[in-house]
Amino acid sequence: MNVNDSGSGRRIAWLVASSGFSPEERQRRQDEIGGYAPRGLELELLTPEASPRFLSQPTDFGPAVASMVDLVSSLDPERYSVGVLAGAIDPGLDEIRSGSAVPIVGPFEATLRVVETLGRPVTILTSDAVIAGATRDKLASQYPDAQVCSVRHIGVSVAEIAGMMDDPRALDEVRRSIVAQGRAAIEEDGAAAFQFGCMTFATLGVRDPLIAELGLPVLDPARISVTVAGLIATVDEPFVLESAL
């Protein structure tokens, strides 16, 4: 996709650093996450051509950030009002922002602001040990005062989950593992809320079952970041109160 093509309307650029998702999965994610966008604002999923297939190892983060810097520098402000860095821990956010032609929302940053307002100890639930380690490093270096009581993972990588999308039983097992880690976080870590630390979790239909089974709030970085992006995209528009009648 040529990010400089003009188009009618204003868009949110959903910026995915992993190129390993199938076209069908990319479309599914665009449709589902796009449902969080305000009416009249379209969400469009973009991936840099040179990005790694998945962020599976610490060495994948550097190339992913470099490819994303190249992509955001070419975003046309006439087509895109705002971008969302669609990685749940905001890899390279400052560098990507500095080279972008449009504002960039970081889901991790935005969600931690909600955590701060919520005022509850939060457990971050993520995919595997690599991402859990990167999350802990991010918290220690950039958010040392965040109200995060623990970071837990299910031991399944995003690449592995991507390979399960046509296997309902395997996906059900992933969902059960997420709930199990949430339950352990309550019992062992004192968690009073949860935050998804893996953007893939936001599209697995696990948020509502997690709330129903464990009775605690679940902060979804996809929903939160698209909501923030929608506010940024419409900040210069007149406010019209629609009547409920």
Task: Work out the pLDDT band at 3, boundaries 50, 70, 90.
Answer: very low
Based on the domain organization, do 59 and 150 belong to the same domain?
A: no
Based on the domain organization, do 127 and 62 belong to the same domain?
A: no
Burial environment of residue 206 by CB neighbours within 10 A (0 to 12, 13 to 18, 19 or more): buried
Burial environment of residue 209 by CB neighbours within 10 A (0 to 12, 13 to 18, 19 or more): middle
Based on the domain organization, do 63 and 94 belong to the same domain?
A: yes
Task: Work out the pLDDT band at 5, boundaries 50, 70, 90.
Answer: very low
End-to-end distance of the chain based on CA atoms, in angstroms? 42
- Domain encompassing residue 201: 108-220
pLDDT of 113 above 50:
yes
As a whole-number percent, the residues of the chain with pLDDT over 70 amount to 92
pLDDT of 36 above 80:
yes
Record the tokens describing residue 19, joined without a space.
Answer: 């190129």
pLDDT of 1 above 80:
no
Based on the domain organization, do 28 and 90 belong to the same domain?
A: yes
Question: What total of structural domains would you count in the chain?
Answer: 2
In this structure, is residue 242 part of a structural domain?
A: no
Based on the domain organization, do 207 and 135 belong to the same domain?
A: yes
Model pLDDT for residues 54-88, shown as the tens digit of each residue: 998 889 999 999 999 999 999 999 999 999 999 88
In this structure, is residue 3 part of a structural domain?
A: no
Read off the pLDDT of each residue in 196-221 and give the average, rounded to a whole number: 95
Based on the domain organization, do 96 and 139 belong to the same domain?
A: no
Based on the domain organization, do 63 and 115 belong to the same domain?
A: no
Helix (H) or strand (E) run with residue 245 in it: none
Model pLDDT for residues 175-192, shown as the tens digit of each residue: 999 999 999 999 999 999
Based on the domain organization, do 116 and 98 belong to the same domain?
A: no
In this structure, is residue 93 part of a structural domain?
A: yes
As a whole-number percent, the residues of the chain with pLDDT over 90 amount to 86
The predicted structure's pLDDT at residue 237: 67
Cα 17 to Cα 133: distance, rounded to the nearest angstrom: 19
Cα 235 to Cα 114: distance, rounded to the nearest angstrom: 20
